[in-house]
Chains A and B, each alone.
Chain A
Amino acid sequence: MSTNASIIEMRALQKWYGRIHAVNGIHLQVRTGTVYGVLGPNGSGKSTLLRLLLGLVRPDAGTITLFGLPLATHRDRILRRVGALIEKPDFYEYLSAYHNLALLGRLSGLRLDRQQIMASLDQAGLAARAHSKVKTFSQGMRQRLGIAQALLHDPELLILDEPTNGLDPQGVADVRALIVRLNQEHGKTVLLSSHLLQEIEVVATHVVVLHQGQTVVEGAVYDLLQCAQVRVRLLVDEPQVTRRILAEIMETVQVLEENNGHFVLSMSVEQVPLLNRHLVGAGVTVRALVPMRSLEAYFLSIT
């Protein structure tokens, strides 16, 4: 499949839970080879969207196509090519990690040998606890086992709901690195939701922001960040000259704080190098010019 082809296509998707309109006319296209982030506040329809994609809930209207096949009629064929981790990873507590993976492998139509299962557990850092019952696992270990089960059948598409939940900082870094590696080295397409905006910013190439079941914005993360206003920390030795430049030459820049040559500014990303050039040109010693580029600021501004 070429990288330009859509691996997921949703058209005019609608989902009601009683009187709650969870998903309201969402159109979405995820291209092969991307890491697609789904962002939104609680109740925005993120989880419902992922559940719709896996056939866990059924749409009231609209169509879902994965790998060019309609989900409604080709669910099993599609799910053979999809690995998923939805919400918290729940396993058979009374079975070992090894037994859980063996069982899930068989459900996926695989007859995994011991070596393959142990390799999966090893990749998740759980080889030493392979034969421990899952009920003895910490949240972080369960999360890692959840990712291992999603990768068990070497899927082309990974759908991950909050994949770093419950992990320690090292675990979070490992999972993020794993997602990037799976995407860049193994060509897997990843659709992930996260409440950690920073995670989407670090991992995703594309993002869709949902609010009250509707798409607020969708596009490449880089492009969205370029459009966004950023906060810039500026430290200079000549505050008076700086103030004059800001007032006369760069009047669109907003000064949020100023204290002894220490400025906090709000400006567009394109204006940052321009400001630097003007300051240096005017003989100002620029000790620091740090754009605090954040998807969070953008997210908050649009929702």
Chain B
Amino acid sequence: MLTLVWIELQKLFCRSRSYIAFIAIGLIVGVIEWGLRLEGRQVLELLMQNLQEAFLLQGNLLNGYLVTYLVLNSLWLHVPILIALVTGDLVAGEAQTGTMRLLLTRPVGRLRLLTAKYLAGLLYTALVVAFLALTSWGMGRLCFGTGDLIVFYQTMNIVPEADLPWRFAAAFAYGGLSMSVVASLAFFLSTLANHSLGPIITTVAILIGCTIISTFEVGMFRTVQPFLFTTYLSKWQGFFAFEVQGEDMGLAIAILVGHMAVFFGGAAGVFLRKDWTT
């Protein structure tokens, strides 16, 4: 299996498409941090105006941690698209180019091949999230220094600097898991199609549709919200609560893992029965 995963990773990283996510993240993080460097302090003062009437806020408020937090907030919307671009292509792309036929005439079981592709997709997702963590955290600290983090999650929380490394590590790990669900969805759709554009666009469409349902507190939507993975995509913010709700986070993680299992099971069901006529 390791050999198969290694082969899949080699193929993946020999394609220029796989680097789009890294370039885009690098650019977006760079632009956000450049913008904050120029005008961040004024914006923060404006935001804190009301608070400063009641509290005495001292220290480096616009620090690397706040920047990383802001980057995270803005990027969790865009990273799924970048991930779907690659994971939606893993099976459908090979069907489109005809190389799947070449793979399936080799003595490798279909389930093993699919699992190797899926694991390669998950590793790619983990790498993208790790890169996001490195760039936002590293560049943030480098350009803005360190300090305590002020976040608004349910209420205003001031997280002491000493507490931040594990909270960010947990947030990024959770982010990696939620992105893996998106990758799994794109991968499942990829097994249904013979062209890669379809699964990529469909993933984005599902993501947008489900995010809308997850966001609007309307009666009918409220019933289905607990079952949608998009409801749990932004739960990483829970790691910045004054007290992390372990049970809530555990449930969210279990639901996301459940989604991954369903999507991979669906992908296996389709792939194992599929007739390769292309």
Q: In the complex, are the beta carbons of A58 and B275 less than 8 A apart?
A: yes
Question: A107 to B99, Cβ gap below 8 A?
Answer: no
Q: Across the interface, do B106 and A86 meet the contact criterion of CB distance under 8 Å?
A: no
B107 A76 Cβ-Cβ under 8 A: yes
Chain B binding surface, main DSSP class = helix
Known contacts A92-B99, A93-B97: does B108 contact A57 (CB below 8 Å)? no
Q: How far is the CA of A42 from the CA of B261 in the complex (A)?
A: 42
Interface centre among A54, A56, A82, A84 (most CB of B within 10 A): A56
- Flag if A94 contacts B14 (CB, 8 Å): yes
Kindly state whether residue A95 has any CB partner on chain B within 8 Å.
yes
Q: In the complex the two chains form, what is the Cα distance from A87 to B276 in whole Å?
A: 12
| Chain A nearest Cβ from B53, distance in angstroms | 60
Contact A103 B273 (CB under 8 A): no
From the candidates A82, A90, A92, name the one contacting B11 in the complex (CB within 8 A): A92
- Hey, which chain B residues are within 8 Å of A104, CB to CB? 102, 106
Q: Flag if A57 contacts B277 (CB, 8 Å).
A: yes
Given A57-B276, A76-B109, CB of A86 within 8 Å of CB of B101 = yes
> How extensive is the interface on chain B, given as a class?
20 to 34
Contacts of A84-124 to chain B: CB distance below 8 A: 84, 86-95, 99, 103-104, 106-109
- Rounded to whole angstroms, the CA-CA distance of A57 and B98 in the bound complex is 15
Contact pick for B106, options A17, A51, A99, A107, CB 8 Å = A107
Q: Which of A89, A90, A91 neighbours the largest number of chain B CB atoms within 10 Å of its CB?
A: A90
User: CB distance B102 to A91 under 8 Å?
Assistant: yes
Does A77 reach chain B (CB closer than 8 Å)? Answer: yes
- B108 and A54 contacting across the interface, CB-CB below 8 Å: no
- Which residue of chain B is the closest to A54 with respect to CB atoms? B105
The reply to whether the CB of B3 lies closer than 8 angstroms to some CB of chain A is yes
**Selected contact of A56 from candidates B3, B4, B16, B105, CB within 8 Å:** B105
Q: Are A87 and B11 in contact (CB under 8 A)?
A: no
Contact call B10/A79, Cβ cutoff below 8 A: no
Closest-by-CB residue of A relative to B276 is A56
* Residues of B contacting A95 in the complex (Cβ-Cβ under 8 angstroms): 11, 14
Please tell me which one of the listed residues B107, B273, B277 contacts residue A80 in the complex, with CB atoms under 8 A apart.
Answer: B107
Which of A17, A51, A80, A89 is B276 in contact with, Cβ under 8 Å? A51
A92 with B276, Cβ < 8 A, contacts A56-B105, A149-B102 known: no
Residue of A56, A77, A107 touching B101 (CB-CB under 8 A): A56
Select which of A55, A87, A91 is within 8 A of B104 by beta carbon.
Answer: A55
The yes or no answer to A75 lying at the interface (CB within 8 A) is yes
Decide if B105 touches A79 in the complex (CB within 8 Å).
yes
Given contacts A103-B7, A106-B3, contact A94 B108 (CB under 8 A): no
Given contacts A90-B97, A107-B4, A108-B107, 7 further A-B contacts (CB under 8 A): A51-B277, A56-B275, A79-B106, A82-B105, A90-B102, A92-B11, A92-B99
Question: What are 8 A-B pairs with beta-carbon distances under 8 A?
Answer: A51-B276, A75-B107, A86-B101, A91-B102, A92-B97, A106-B3, A107-B4, A149-B102
Residues of B within 8 A of A (CB): 3-4, 7, 10-11, 14-16, 97-99, 101-109, 273, 275-277
